[in-house]
A and B are shown apart, each in its own frame.
Chain A
Amino acid sequence: MQTKSARLPREKRQPTKIINMKRCSEQLHKQSQTVKLKKSEQADLRERLVSYMEYHPLPASMKSAPVSNTKKASGAELFTDSFAHFAIPYQALFKFGSVAAVFVLLVVPFMAERTVPGDTLYAVKVQFNEEVRSSLTWGSYEKVEWETERLNRRIAEARLLADEGLLTDEVEASVAAAVKEHSDNAKREIEVLRETDADEAAIATIAFDSSVQVQAQALQHSTDAASTTTKTGGLISDALDQSLEKPVSDEIATVPAYGKLMARVEMNTTRIGELRDSLVAIVSPQGLADVNRRIQDIDRAVLAAIELQQTAETELAAREALVDVLTRTQKLIIFMTDLEVREQVTIESVVPVVPTIDEIELDRSKRSQQLQDAIDDLEAAISSDEVSADVQAKLEITGEKLEAAQTTLAGIKDYKTFVAQSNDVLALAADALLLIKNDGVIIPAVPVDKATTTSQTSTSTGVVGSNKSTSSESMVNQEI
């Protein structure tokens, strides 16, 4: 009973609710129907609308066309004039924005790295790429290295343009200005470094000067080669010379501490080893042998410096030896890393070979023998009837001079002095023998070639010296 009585009211209530709801909707609807346009308002509105239609008629093509031929209108195309809705495609914008950002931040700088003055993206290279890297470089020594690198880049660009005949006066002036700017920046950083660490400053100066010297040397060679047709690179050479003339080089007088020098030398030799490995597949066997020879020289010099450092008396000499080694390693790195430099100058002119003791002895004896041979040939010519009296007189004087020089050379201990003086003497002997040859006497063994070859920068024998192959006869006459 209870269940029945409890269910009944609910069953009864349910239809009442529906009726109420319907009544509510109906009442609301009924009330709203009282809101309507008057007939006159409806007619006015229609009239306004028809007028509008008359002033804005359908296109002629639509009047005749059936309704089904028209485009489908959708809600998405509806908008009002006052508040036009513009959908901003954030997702697409983000995607394209990402692509654009990648293009601007990665692709453009990468492409700009290969540009030279006059290219569209060159400004990106100099004013964005390099400036960003500058601002990311910490430490004065690293800043000096970077400014040196920038200087090298400017010169490399100038050389590239010069090779293509595009190095105009304007571009050359701008490159020279850039070289000066980077040089000044490097020196400024060196001064900053000197206030905190004089040894590091001295090492940075050595590295900077070595680099500039190599570049100046390569540029000079390039300028000399181009001078027959066009005069290029003068301003840049001047800028490089100026940077070398500045008092920064004076600071080398303060020889850095042994430990710091050795550390830097070790870093450089490690770098050279890596560079050598990377060049194996690129350079010729002879080129690789030349590099290996310089590495051996450097290793030997380092060992010598270590030995010198053992005693207090020779400690300064050890440091000076290491400064020399550091300079050579620095120059060798520039030579190995800069393709343009490799093409312009020989490795011998950048890092001359340092002969071993055996090589020195061999070269000394060889030169002495060449001189002796020349003296013998002269004596033979003097006693010969085929030589004119005038030439014989000249030869006698030359022979005496050569004999005197032979005695002097025998007493010279320093190898470099010996090489320098023997070069002069051998050149004199060669000229004298050439004089005999010109006079009609055939000399079987002419030591001219030998002397010239030996005195040349022969890397295989390891002889150091400058070749003074001047005009033969005039020299002999001068000497006489």
Chain B
Amino acid sequence: MAGEQSTENLSGHEARFLAAYDEYNDALFRHACMRISDREKAIDLVHDTYTKVWSYVRKGYEIEQFRPFLYKVLNNLIIDTYRKKKESSLDALLDIEGVDEGSFDELSESSAEALAATIDGRKAFELMDEIPDVYKEVLIMRFVDGLGPKEMSELTEEKENVISVRIHRGLKLLRQKIEAQDEFADEKRKATARKKAADKNN
């Protein structure tokens, strides 16, 4: 492979950069794919992320920890993608949702955990696309990428309280969606049972 370089020929910067690619490419792709729900576009975003980071390296910046840096660049690119895609910007979305200080429950970490306990993880994964990106972003960071509140705060440039509120509201939304889906499935099942019973009687 043309791009395969032996580590002996690589400088320290190049070796570190490629190691970061090998380590985080999958996680970044997952994050991007879940956020934008477009596999091909997600691959492009990951590529763009690494090329941008490489540009920084070439400018002489030292990147101590690649992980948060890569996530930051990817997050910016995803926001750009959203802005390009729809007129209603993320800011407008935030305005509609209203990023207030949040109630005590919403700010509490244990409350978020308690809420998460009531949600089926598989169903939550399936319904992730149905909630606004502002919530999807923090839920993916938290439950898929396993980032802590501080890291998320740095990545999104929001206060930790705001992140907690978003996680809490995102989980609530997910639960509502799951409950609605369950109710719909239940109704459907009951209707099918009634139909079968009616057919049997006939």
A contacts, CB < 8 Å to B: 17-18, 20-21, 23-33, 35-37, 41-43, 45-54, 56-59, 62-64, 66-68, 70-73, 75, 77-80, 82-83
Contacts and interface: CB of A to CB of B under 8 A. Distances in A.
Contacts of B26: 36-37, 42
A57 B59 CA distance: 11
A17 B26 CA distance: 31
Output the residue of B2, B113, B121, B122 with the most chain A CB within 10 A: B121
B189 interface: no
A71 B143 contact: no
A70 B54 CA distance: 14
Contact of A70 (B29, B61, B72, B113): B61
A30 B121 contact: yes
Given A49-B50, A67-B16, A72-B62, A29 B77 contact: no
A367 B46 CA distance: 117
Nearest to B73: A78
A58 B13 contact: yes
A62 B121 contact: no
A45 B61 contact: no
What 4 A-B pairs come out closest when comparing CB atoms? Answer: A27-B121, A50-B3, A73-B61, A31-B125
A33 to B, nearest CB: 8
Contacts of B47: 45, 48-49
Given A27-B125, A29-B143, A51 B2 contact: yes
Interface string B85-118: 0000000000000000000000000000110111
Interface residues of B, number: 64
B1 interface: yes
Interface of B: 1-5, 11-14, 16-18, 21-22, 25-26, 29-30, 33-34, 43, 46-47, 50-52, 54-64, 68-69, 72-73, 76-77, 79-80, 83-84, 113-114, 116-122, 124-126, 140, 143-144, 146, 154
A32 B56 contact: no
B63 A73 contact: yes
Contacts of A71: 59-62
Contacts of A29: 121, 143-144, 146
B3 A46 contact: yes
Given A37-B25, A50-B4, A20 B62 contact: no
Secondary structure class of chain A's binding surface, majority of residues: helix
Contacts of A20: 117-118
Contacts of B1: 43, 47
Contact of A28 (B13, B54, B124): B124
Contacts of A62: 11, 13, 58, 60
A73 B56 CA distance: 8
Contacts of A42: 25-26
Contacts of A18: 113, 117
B124 A67 contact: no
Contacts of A83: 76, 79-80, 83
Contacts of B18: 46, 49-50
A239 to B, nearest CB: 65
A65 B75 CA distance: 31
11 contacts: A17-B114, A26-B121, A36-B30, A42-B25, A45-B43, A45-B47, A49-B47, A58-B13, A58-B58, A73-B61, A75-B72
